[in-house]
Amino acid sequence: MALLSSKQNSEALAADRVSALFHEDGWDIQRQPCVGSFRPDWVAGKGAVRYVIELKSMREGRPDRVIALLSQAILEAGRYADHSAMKPLAIVHVSQTSASLWRKVEQFHSTFAPHVAIGIVSEAGESHFIGPSLEALNVKAPRNPSRGKHAKPHKASDLFSDLNQWMLKVLLAPELPEHLLTAPRRDLANSSQLADAANVSAMSASRFVRRLQEEGFLDDSGSSFQLVRRQELFHRWRSAAMRSSPELRMSYLIPASGARQLHKVVSKLDACVGLFAAADLLRLGHVSGVAPYVYVRRLMAADNAGWPGLVSAAPGEPAQIILKQSNVPGSLFRGAVRVGDMLVSDVLQIWLDASGHPARGVEQAEFLRSSALAGVLREFE
């Protein structure tokens, strides 16, 4: 019975570790879904990419045994994928990985199963993945970890991952009206309550709260969580949000008023109005004359089939609408508000996006800071 209990604990640890890894990178995960007559461990989706996942776990990291278990996971994930339109992903969780183990796994994968995505995840926090859209899940082990202590490997962007930005919005939601941010509004005193409010895994919320505490951004001494040292927090959040992302400069296929055409485009797509047009729709506009930005989860080719009602803007002509792929689709779409039947970026998202926009974005961000966000950004300069 003790052996069975140990195996169950190992499998539970593997499931928690892997699901937290995907959640933190903004993946939507469904546990043990029906795929034909099968029940794989997970289905994970992000943008247009969807994986059917088989997870195996073992304590030791001997290459021969890891590769044998990985082979089984590859066969099972491939079988599930045959009964769906998804890609197969095989993952093995071990207590500890090594450069030698990963080299042998890579060689095996390239020789025998290059068509299947794979991952090796360690209990200590290191992870290696091969497959489309999985690069952000790779986490390196720290150099020279302190003796006798488990190191805490993490990427520099961990604090402001897609999922963590959403949880920041949930923590700030009580300070903002509902028409400016869609999020639960309640006092949160622990990570379990945050997980429930934000609809994320308990491990994701616990890791996020611990990181905020380590950075000195969270006061948990009272009856509910309070974000502190906001000037530093928001400076770093704004910097993390200034990553470039793909965009397409488009024109309307049929001429009409901009407002009518914008409404038609957004209603036909899984899209969200952003930046200056979003500020206008929330009655917080300060800058005019900029083409409306519309955020999508993933950009496709600039053709009529992919974007109904739109065509590529002619060279040298100003765009009438700009389609932009969001770097944080989970946070953006969860926090978005509805104006009529259009999704519109929440006020925090508009401030973050406008802060890094070259066309008078600083003016719009400053207007929001001194008006709708005055209470939230009270320490920000």
- Provide the percentage of residues in the chain whose pLDDT is more than 70: 89
Q: How many CA atoms lie within 13 A of 44 on its CB side?
A: 26
Average pLDDT across the chain, whole number: 85
Sign of CA dihedral 356, 358, 361, 362: positive
Yes or no: say if 54 and 40 are a contact pair by the CB < 8 Å rule: yes
Q: Where are the domains of the chain?
A: 2-137, 158-240, 247-370
Q: 252 - beta bridge partners?
A: 310
C-alpha–C-alpha distance, residues 361 and 345, integer Å: 15
User: Tell me, what's the pLDDT at 97?
Assistant: 84
What is the value of pTM for the model shown? 0.61
Residue 21 has pLDDT above 90, yes or no: no
Instruction: Look at the domain 2-137 and name its fold.
Output: Trna Endonuclease; Chain: A, domain 1 (3.40.1350)
* CA end-to-end span of the chain: 60
Inter-residue contact 147 to 175 (CB < 8 Å)? no
pLDDT value at position 146?
42
Task: Tell which CATH classification among 3.10.20.30, 1.10.10.10, 3.30.230.10, 3.30.365.10 matches the domain 158-240.
Answer: 1.10.10.10
205-245 pLDDT, tens digit each:
988 998 999 889 999 888 899 999 998 899 899 888 887 78
Higher pLDDT, 140 or 251: 251
User: Per-residue pLDDT averaged across 278-302, rounded?
Assistant: 86
pLDDT for 52 beyond 80? yes
The answer to which of 228-242, 265-279, 302-316, 345-359 has the lowest mean pLDDT is 302-316
* Mean pLDDT in residue range 344-370: 91
pLDDT mean over 196-204? 90
Q: What is the DSSP string of 197-258?
A: HHT--HHHHHHHHHHHHHHT-EE-SSSS-EE--HHHHHHHHHHHTT----EEEEEESS---H
- Give me the mean pLDDT over the 361-366 stretch: 91
The two tokens of residue 36 are 């034909």
* pLDDT over 90 at 74, yes or no: yes
Return the H-helix or E-strand segment holding 46: strand 42-46
Phi, psi of 362 (to 5 degrees): -60, -40
